[in-house]
A and B are shown apart, each in its own frame.
Chain A
């Protein structure tokens, strides 16, 4: 800005020439300059005040709005709380992997009596006994008249029963609302679901609590109101489970077996698609545990999870896999399996005292040679064997999501010495549950990483620790496939599914201790399909089976467990979406022997 002079020469000279006062010009200019300065200062001050006012306005608006919303929203809150969200069935449903209901709730009524209000106790007792045959008329009448004020009669009523009781027209018989646990599929997956019963009971409501199985394991989750009734999604497939139970039940009857179990497991995710144990029960009416005799004879005993057995030759694949992994042998390494073989004072014999002579490691698995795996196990040594089996989870209970899982604790040999090393290599001396075996096979064939069995639907494969290399896993699958194509499990060759597996026929140890039964076995078949690209592992175990179509009864797994497993695979594989492939896939070539 150009500062204007106070005494501009031109105007002064002009004023002087006209006789004016040059001082007036200076004063005038000075006044103009002061005016301009004052205006500028005022404008600046006004601006500051305006900004200040805006700040205060903003602050007061904020506080005022907040107070307004607080004041306005307070009466609305109780209304929101009373909305429909709170009205929910109290216990969440359990569904299969596709959302089909396995357990749900049903609103029913309970029946109770207030004897003080009963007009005609004799008639009420007579009519009630007519409706419910299990009630005793005399006992009811006695209770109606002994002066008590309150009496439960039934915990749940069907609508028809309720109408009949209503028709008695007795004012002292009263109904209370009850929520009841219903298993619409009856016996299906009974051991997994477990059962439920009433906890604390009142006239107007009762707690439903899980008593066994996944119901008890997830009791807190199922009852959590914060989850607002989101169902518990299990890994089971309803159709696959139903088919497995049906085929297993048929096989058990045909083969005169005392009990049976089957486990179908995804080798990548560890999901249990089906798990059956027979005999079973109806979880809607769970039988009480046995008070006498063997607990394992009760139908509520879950053979697949709780039952620990010496499973026999199905274990042979583990010492072989370890020998491959350690580089002690390759599939075509020749091992001398001829007798006699004495370890720790005991003679190790083959099945039916056969003698296989010098055979390759693959043939040891195919022919199921006890001395062959025994010799490999002696090379491996007790310490390494124990550590290897431990990493597969064979020495601790499974962590499957059932309350019974910790009771399925394996029984390892008390002193793991040379003899135990040899017997464990062919499946004796170490008792495990069929579920352990399924998990072990899954970990071995899926490429060699550990999978843990689970009953909940998973979103992706488990990435467990590596137990054996890809190469060992491939070689193991080739051997298992050879057992089916050339060995003891020829009945398992389901066309199109390239089943691989290993049979095991284990003599049952005497209950009183000391030796084994001659004519009681547990026949097991552990299989994987398809062997070239494994998807599922199926373990079938039959307790005391006997095949009687031949001249003398056959008990070996090849004649008992294998045909049952083959039928299960034939029926379930299509349901699992596996397309049978007619062309034989190229089997991986056997790796050359790396001896030493």
Chain B
């Protein structure tokens, strides 16, 4: 045995570094690199930049949940901002009525939004089609009305306040909050990365590609879809709770429909189904409405009415044009470039198939729906009647 292994090792050229094959170890390696990088980044940044980094972190959490739901499981939510609101309000209510530590508060925010997700997800799985999309849109549109109806409980227009968690005295509070948010983002991404490589992840993909085949293979289709939706809603709830900490309070205006739109556009631009792509989307969500769109507006000297709506117009365009022209998003484009560059340097001139094959199925649901729809559609059947 030992002899064979030695010979095999001698045959293969040994690269100077190889990522661990175990998913957990690999993801922890990525996370360790990210921790070092982010530690130095937050040291360099001003308090306001820390605030923005924290924002990027919690949008990354929400996007990770959404991209898992849509890219991996083939379901869609148009109202993830609604689940963020559930998480945010849960945290704020806990702050108001209890004196707990921030960790259990975040955990309960996750659990509550996952539970609301189950209430929406279970009926929606009874049918295929756009039911989940419509129902989540209703959640996002309806929740502000609900908080208005019971405004003594939800704090009315002022909403509820959520004081920032305080850390050690040597660290300034903005940095401490940014660290909490970044830690949450890294933990969520590690856990989701592992989940996708597990039995659940494979079931999610199987259900997306063909529900009938998946059920024949022994997968409980409805349960799988509900689990995916609950995980996704839980992520959104965590993101909403972290948003509440950043904003220092929640009210119904804090979670408008536009957050749901931003999340969808961020998912599309990052690359649907790619956990790495969520960072691109999160950066877009944080900087486009507050810095890039105003800069663009002042550059072209448009009036205030146009500049107020510019970000929304761009996000709408991103959704429409992105879906029609580049469904793979930034991460898909990077992967394409990496495969071409790899082909240029590899001796046989063939693109690195392992790279593209590994990731290709992830984009499938959004690229070529063949595998998802055509099977069940009545229209594809071509047999003229004989009578």
Q: Do chains A and B stick together as partners?
A: no
Give A contacts to B, CB under 8 Å. Answer: none
Chain B interface residues toward A at CB < 8 A: none
